[in-house]
Amino acid sequence: MSKKAIVIVIDGCAHEYLEQGVTKNISELGKRGFFKNVKSALPSVTNVNHATILTGSLPIEHQVTGNYFYNPETEEQGFIDGKGFLDKETILDVYAKQGNSTALLVVKGKVLQVFGDNVGFGLSAEHPDENLVKYLDMEMPPYVATPEANGWIMEACYNLIRKDNPDFIYCTTNDYTMHNYNPDHEIAKKQMESIDYWIGKIYELDPDREIYITADHGMTTKTLLIDLQKKMDNTSFDTVCMLPLKDRYLENHLYQEGCAVYVYAKDQSQKDDIYKHLKSYSFIESIYTREEAMDQLGLPGNRIGDFVIFGTKEVAFGELEDEELAVTVRTHGSKFEQDIPLIAVNARREASEYKRHFDVVRYMFEDLNISADQDLNLVK
């Protein structure tokens, strides 16, 4: 049987949220194991990074490239909040195949819908199963877009370990607080204190379990929003500018604002000129052709635009009434939100071996494959 493990993903947890003096249990676990900076996948958005962590691979393998999709051949578009987008097995799938018990506990319902096909125990605060909630000796959860929802899912995680002690658990929160409150705000500190409390309780309950605490992406403050679609519509170019961060949680980003855009050239003969035009915008920090994005960012060419762009440090892209809007928001999606924490205790590798958050699961896959090979050798 595989070693018991838990991966806790604090959605949007930039390092600053762990530097306010209220996460003492997380700090203590870091002293017992390690506490370091690692990188998320790009774009630094939720679906991309849950898929990356859970499969131990980059998007070019698992094929999830955002919270939203656009098909240039059919012009179909929509939210990625169900089955059919993930092209690779998750660690939850593999643990289950080997006869181990698994659990996926989430605040955002879409995470369970996309990744929860084969879990033994699946619970979302957004769409809770009343029988499961009662089984965990809990009241029904608060509204998903509240700081309290995160404490509720962490308590559910603690109660599940107390009752069933599953072999592998993936537990993740919602970044509502990170989008709406700076790290030093009292509401943000209170939320982090609550998450930290339950992490401490989980460790006390099962101190031998592998525990990994990380984030799917960071979060920074932006002061200028750009509607790139409107800007391009006012040129002679025929493009679709798709926002990979776009999702249904408007409490988190009212303008669907995020720091990355996939740009599709509907007229391929314009592609070179579109590239030159995009390069002229001062609000674009970097631009990748499809081929460069595949090679340098590990993105699948069949699910991104002709160009992948990221905004400068103070810029996000959104859906606006005008081309630009000067407003202060907190969001993510670019390289500026790629640095995230990783805290681990009872880790299966030395701290220096972990450079990206998905290394956690990548090493689990490696060890499970070794174990499977050894089993086959014994059969022979």
Domains in the chain, ordered, with CATH?
A: 5-219+338-379 (3.40.720.10), 220-331 (3.30.1360.110)
Is residue 373 very low, low, confident or very high in pLDDT (cuts 50, 70, 90)?
very low
> Which residues make beta-bridge pairs with 315?
224
Give residues with Cβ within 8 angstroms of 160, minimum separation 6. Answer: 103, 105, 121, 136, 166, 169
Residues 122-142 have pLDDT tens digits of: 999 999 999 999 999 999 999
Instruction: Judge if pTM exceeds 0.75.
Output: yes
Q: What is the pLDDT of residue 377?
A: 34
pLDDT surpasses 70 at 372: no
Q: Please, are residues 230 and 320 in contact by the beta-carbon 8 Å criterion?
A: yes
The mean pLDDT of 170-184, rounded to a whole number, is 97
Is residue 276 very low, low, confident or very high in pLDDT (cuts 50, 70, 90)?
very high
Query: CA 232, CA 194: separation in Å to the nearest integer?
Result: 45
Q: What is the pLDDT of residue 2?
A: 55
Residues 87-102 have pLDDT tens digits of: 999 999 999 999 999 9
Residue 331's SS3 state is strand
The mean pLDDT of 348-357, rounded to a whole number, is 98
Is residue 68 very low, low, confident or very high in pLDDT (cuts 50, 70, 90)?
very high
